[in-house]
Structure 1
Amino acid sequence: MRFEDFSAQPTPSREACLAALDSANVCVFLLGPSYGHVFPETGQSATHDEWVAAKTAGKPRWVYRKLGVTFEDAQQSFARDVEAYATGVFRDSFQDTAELLTKVVRKVKELEAGPSSLSFAPLTQPVSLRRSLDEGGVQGGVSVPLLELHVLPVGFAGYSARQLEELSTSLADRIRRSGAVKSDTALTASSSQAHAIVSMPLSRPPRWDATRPGELVEVRLHKTGQVSLRATLPRDAMGSILDQDALPQQITALLRLIGALNLIQHERIVVAVGVSDPQLTQIDRFNPHQSRTRAELGGFMRSFALQTEPDESASLAALDAGAEEVARTLSRVLIKQHPSAT
């Protein structure tokens, strides 16, 4: 699929491009000398926009750099991001169209046989995660159980005060460029010596008993380098739901969002999840088209926690191609801790 081959469509150009990208099996990026027009809506070129979207979606990305040309400054900066050792991809190069086509065809044939780059290793020492399960509510004063995802780079010394301040000013822009929020969503930024936070309001349901999928409500960058996301769980008129199918999908999307934010550069990371106010959750099936009419609420004889305790590190692929595998494991552990699962 190429943008040049799109027919007339009743949707904005960016939306049409990202929809096509979302349906693709592989995304091929060609780096030539020009960066392209910078759109005021995103602050970057269309190709850069698609790169971030492909990374967020966990799509395989093949990059080919044109040889024998001089890159303009903006394109050179973009190329450094694409080729970054820890967070980019190992790109190829080409001299002409014939060479490019030969290499792409070869990669297509290798696609199914390609090994996963996801790996795990036991932790040699405990790690200290900053959790916020005891912080109730979200923007607007709504109090609902929240799913938390924490990713900590292993062996990272942490940010200086200057670095944290610089990153805090760019955090909202990084979130917008990832496509995690709508362009008209109001983001609220705050910071302290310990972390930078960007929060977003919940969408308003059309009626009180409307079903609502999980929504991102906060991105937090800690001075330690840890990135934490908070999101609501899928819910309906009867409350928040731990769905054995929806939960791993939601965690997968959150992992890929952290990867797309391009904040973590270290190769080894620790990943953990948790749920605040677990007594207000139920293990059930979430139907996005219809609210439940009955559910078992509360009634547990003891208080309990829903959170995973990491005992191993994962490669950075956990924020990209390996996100689904990591999310499935985290979801199983979390749901097994719920009293109604036993």
Structure 2
Amino acid sequence: MSSPSASFVQIKFDDILFYENCGGGSFGSVYRARWISQDKEVAVKKLLKIENEAEILSVLSHRNIIQFYGAIVEAPNYGIVTEYASGGSLYDYLSSDESEDMDMGQIMTWAADIARGIHYLHSEAPVKVIHRDLKSRNGNRFDLTICDFGASKFLTHTTHMSLVGTFPWMAPEVIQSLPVSETCDTFSYGVVLWEMLTREIPFKGLEGLQVAWLVVEKNERLTIPSGCPVCFAELMRSCWATEPKERPMFKQILSTLESISKDSQLPQQCNSFLHNKAEWRCEIEATLERLKKLERDLSTKEQELKERERRLKMWERKLIEQSNIHWNCSPVSSSFLSYTYNTPLLS
């Protein structure tokens, strides 16, 4: 299926008054600004060039998807202009002291907001879209909206992904640049749900490539604390299935969330879990230490192999030198030369 030919409002660069830098999205920096002619506060993501993000945003319309106003297409001042989300990102909120007051009701609201937004992208939008970079930094709090479509693609039956996104949120097949389906977003959704429940940074302290190796080669996943309500634990585990076909689609996730919301006993259990973080945080920290040790052990083994290879090469050079000395100092016979020359120095 080919992507649609989208048309969008082209906004003049001098019609934008830039304020402060709000941080970086994928492939560009984001600024708070004012669209002068419309007297509207907006967010502008500056880009090196206009690619598919404007095309994707121009065909989307949903309360849980950031509202797109237009694009600046005057070289070299390219940019995407969207609504400005004054509440900041979900990631910033979860990292703040304010999140200590979060309860199950808020988690359920946001979990459903994200799921509805992604379900729209996959099943209800004019053309099917895979976000590919779903993470808490790309979700605006309060009335949660999904933003930053720089890594997104229109889905075809043979969609093959380049390596984009952020490793702790990325599905194994995305890390490996394999063909993907909608459920690569399901994997990322599970990580965002984990962030909301634990208010922790996924794989904190590990480098991106270390996380990639652990997720793909060692099949490691984020630690779900033992006190986590079973319904949430099961949902996260299903989202993180290695086989993409085993992960739930977002229609199923929404159905699961609806069932969870009907459990009258769950709010008390969930709120107890949220407000007793000191009791289970050590489980996450213990896993991180184990993973760091695993990575250190691997690095040590790699160094040992490199040292062994260096010594073998040094030994080989010495044998060659000794052979040359023997060649120059010994009586020469054709049979000896033939034998010495054709016999490998190392087996």
Query: What TM-score bracket applies, with the shorter chain setting the length?
Result: under 0.3
Structure ranking higher in strand proportion: 1
Higher relative contact order (CA 8 A, sep 6+): 1
Structure ranking higher in helix proportion: 2
TM-score, structure 2 normalization: 0.25
The structure with more radius of gyration: 2
TM-score, structure 1 normalization: 0.25
